[in-house]
Amino acid sequence: NTLHLSSWFRCCLNLDRYVAVKFPIYTSKWCRTSQASINSSIVFTVLSLANIHLLIFVQGEDDNKNSNELNSTRSTVNPFQYQRCYLHPSYVHFFEHIYTWIDMFLVTIIPFTFIILCNLTVINRVFLVSGPGKKSEFVSRSKATNRLRSLCLIMVCSSFIFVATTLPVTAFIIDLLSHKASVDTMRCRRIQWTIYNILMYFNYASIFSYCLSGTEFRQAL
């Protein structure tokens, strides 16, 4: 699931900045490309295992006539995007009433909480923790400090952009699958689905800008 991956890769980026600020002595050891590759592989593996049930209980469309008649009454993963991916009858209740909530927590709630906690620690170090020093030292560091503060502001804004662009689509899926709608209502919901997907694409784009600011953040440190 690309939404799961984008959310947790963003968590990895925030963890990298948290370590760089909170434990600078370990930066050279833990904040490296090789470690990032390992972390990404772990995230990918864990999320793949967490979603493996979809491979087991989601079935494709059968081409024979009897199956086509049966398919018309079966529940799909998403009536707007995966119309030919059908849920196993014993799996429908779990997917529509339980997994959609798990999906929201995996995509938005847990990552957002993690990101905010990391950002608060970084902001605390940059804005509030300032040891006594000479005026000359203060002047020499002021430029870097101001730059760090600007980057911290970007981090905070990015966190709220993240929740604003991922929460609507996950909440929409919960409502869509738990409340069966009429044909007229589904037409309106298709428009909603399109809008929420556009927001989701903004989330993907914001990740690139967040990555690009990482090098500048490290240099300012």
Average pLDDT estimate for 207-218? 64
Please give the Cα distance from 212 to 103 (Å, whole number).
28
Task: Please determine, for residue 135, whether its predicted confidence score (pLDDT) is greater than 50.
Answer: no
Average pLDDT estimate for 164-189? 84
Q: What are the residues facing 78 on neighbouring strands? A: 82
Confidence of residue 125 (pLDDT cuts 50, 70, 90): confident
Kindly list the distances between the CA atom of residue 16 and the CA atoms of 12, 58, 99, 102, 212, in Å, as whole numbers in the listed order. 6, 36, 30, 26, 14
- Lowest-confidence segment of 7-21, 67-81, 92-106, 156-170 by average pLDDT: 67-81
Average pLDDT estimate for 167-186? 83
Average pLDDT estimate for 128-141? 51
Q: Which residue has the higher pLDDT, 19 or 125?
A: 19
Average pLDDT estimate for 127-147? 56
Contact 8, 42 (CB under 8 A): no
pTM of the predicted model as reported, rounded to 2 decimal places: 0.80
Confidence of residue 62 (pLDDT cuts 50, 70, 90): low
Average pLDDT estimate for 120-147? 62
Domains belonging to the chain, first-starting first, are 2-59+89-220 (1.20.1070.10)
Task: Please determine, for residue 129, whether its predicted confidence score (pLDDT) is greater than 90.
Answer: no
